[in-house]
Chains A and B, each alone.
Chain A
Amino acid sequence: MLESRRFVIIGFFALVGVIYLLRLFYLQVLDESYSIESSSNSIKRVTEIPFRGQIYDRYGKLIVYNTPVYDLLVTPNRVKMDDTLRFCQVLGIERHDFDSLMAAARAYSPVKPSLFLRQLSKEDFASIQDIMVDYSGFEFAKSSLRTYTAPTLANTLGYVSEITKGQLEKQEEPYYRQGDYIGQSGVERIYENELRGKRGTKFVMQNVAGVYKGPWKNGELDTMAVAGENLYTGLDLEVQQYADSLMVNKVGSVVAIEPKTGQIISMVSAPTYDPNILASRYFSKNFAALARNPYKPLFNRPVMASYRPGSTFKLIQALIGLQEGVITPSSGFTHANCPVGCHNHPATSTVALGVTHSCNPYFYNVFRRLIYKNNIKNTFKASAVGLDAWHDDIAKFGIGQRLGIDLPSEYKGNLPNKKYYDRFYGEYRWKFSNIYSLSIGEGELLITPLKMANVAAIIANRGYFYTPHVIHGIGDKKTVKPEFLERHETGVDAHNFEPVIEGMIGAVEAGTARRSRVEGITIAGKTGTSQNKRGDDHSIFIAFAPVEDPKIAIAVFVENAGAGGSAAAPIANLIIEKYLSRKVTNKALEERMMKLDLMSKVVLPTTKKPDDTETKKKTEEVKKPTGDPNDPANRLPGAPHPANPAAMRGPITLPKQNQQKRL
């Protein structure tokens, strides 16, 4: 009986087969809508790359925009060339360039279009477009170049370049393809998803000869490209360029923050370079030159370089001391019984005077009291407990923490705690006398210029800060990321800031930074002299102004410039004046700072001179053509020479021939 069920089962199989055949017959034979009009037409997918978002400064001035350029592609097998010489003349290339470019393209693929000349400007395109009709096998593809209104902010903005092989493989969702551009550093990298927009896809029909035959299916499957979102920064382009000019021929950083919002007003990483050189068709050559430069212009110092804070750290010590109650505003200390040295200065009978004169013994004593604040008798154990309590207080200022700025590779810095010293000495094998150099910002402390600018902002705000950020508005709605609207408290009461600020005013009026004070603006500042193993001390200055209603907080770091008052303080105060009153009164100081050349004092990390043969080998490696027609290194001869370090001081510009023609 059950055997007969096999007929039901086979019948069911057959039924499905028949239904599927009927469906297939309908799809393939009856329904014409799926068949393409003519079998000789083929469909081509064309990807439309949208413009990247533009970047504006705080007053709406354009910083980064796009210039349309044209890539010239060649399909070697389709090339018919009667007059090669004229062709070369039109394009402005030599005959042997033409031959090598063709050979490279042919090696890549004889039937596929490959890049012949990259990024021709609109003018070039206009002048040769008509003539190109005579030469078959060549076609133009529209693309765009990042263009910068001013040769500044290279590291903050970052650069855009072709996606690397590693990035292609690592991407989580398959969005990018070979040859696509992607933000590689700075804002371009962090805001890649906002800036890149949405790619469009068009399906077009072509006949066998590749001639356009109209959109496929009337374009109903096409998607429009959507331009990337514009970004609005808090940067002040004018102040930025002024700060750049002050930092010429120096190694260091300037970070200026608007304390009330955390927006970055200016960010200098010196030495810098013209961002336009990495947005040209000579990217590879220029990038290689920058990477080889011993002063590391690609290193974004404000967020990546580590220094000891020096005396600027005394401000935080004073604040914590007041908050913890180990000192009062009128506490005084003398130089007696103190292992740290000091210079000659009037008696420091108050906190304010201690700050003004940057008295080392004063802060040695403050730190000592902080560490031994607890009631533990054993000095080893007391130091351990005291240090961790101190660590937690300091950490609230962002020291030893990532602040979370919207730039890549932010350096965390170092703020030692008990665990840190236990690793060196062993548990309860160290005490205050081993770590007292922390009291004056030396020792194992490491900070970045950004962190110290943030400390200035905290003091300006009397106790809180907003995460410093470059982008203060995304898209037309100028949306601010929520994390940048969150107020961070330091746990120090507002009234405890007043004696410290009084001391900072004193430092600028009559103390360590008196030579650079600005008429008419009350600046509160603190110099710092950061010791380092290589060469002269680094000059540091942090400040904010005006004291009554702070609009700018700033940190200036100048490497190997000596004391804080010598270079950092004048530069900071000039920038403050420029930002607040849009003009500078002390022209003599301005000129002196602009002319100050410290490059000879800077000790490069490689103490050993690289021997000549090695350098030569490297140069050859770079010059060796890779055979890849997409590599701009193979495009044109005469790209810049690896610039010699001396010529690279200050903003690095290129020989004229390599500068991109601009509209």
Chain B
Amino acid sequence: MNWDALWLSIRLASLTAVLLLLIGMPLAHWINASRWRWKFLAEAVIALPIVLPPTVLGFYLLIAFAPNRPLGAFYARIVGSPLPFTFGGLLVASILYSLPFAVQPLAAAFAGVDPRLIENSWMLRESRWRTFVRVILPLSRRGMMTAFVLSFAHTLGEFGVVLMIGGNIPGVTRTLSIDLYDQVQALNNRAAAETALVLLILSFFFLSIVAYINRSKGERLRGADR
């Protein structure tokens, strides 16, 4: 078992999930609230990583963020190091790659909040911001947990993008899924079996959490109907 790779994957996945929650909340709120006529295009862009081959994302990141390109030079100046072959680069890639897994559950949860409660809050002269923080967010706890867990699990399973922009650096970009690939290629079946089992158990565990969160929500709603 490569503990460095496991620790790296967990760090990458949890940071991605936290940042995606922060980025996803305003995005999801905007999707629900906006009446912009081209909004459907923005929604399609957010959903893209679900269907886009990871190699497409990897290719664009590698070309656009090369330190000798304008975007790459700009990124390197702001962050201090170029995007490819760095942990920060993997983080940026993972945020893009897991974006829909955070935004979609959040948008669904925000949309599920009873509009009467929101209107009551407005009638009590609470601002839109306070209404969002005090009414919508607490009622969307399950959606937030789902978003967090799904983006964590999806990042843990990232492979193609990391293979293309990671450079396989131990402790920096050699994630657990890349390590598994190396072990299989090196016919190191014992180590590969351990790594695969860890990834399988982790993924199963996280998806069980998601299923559990959403099952109990269904039951709660059925109870409320009665």
Whether A and B are associated in the same complex: the answer reads: no
Q: List B residues at the A interface (Cβ < 8 Å).
A: none
Which residues in A have some Cβ–Cβ distance to B below 8 Å? none
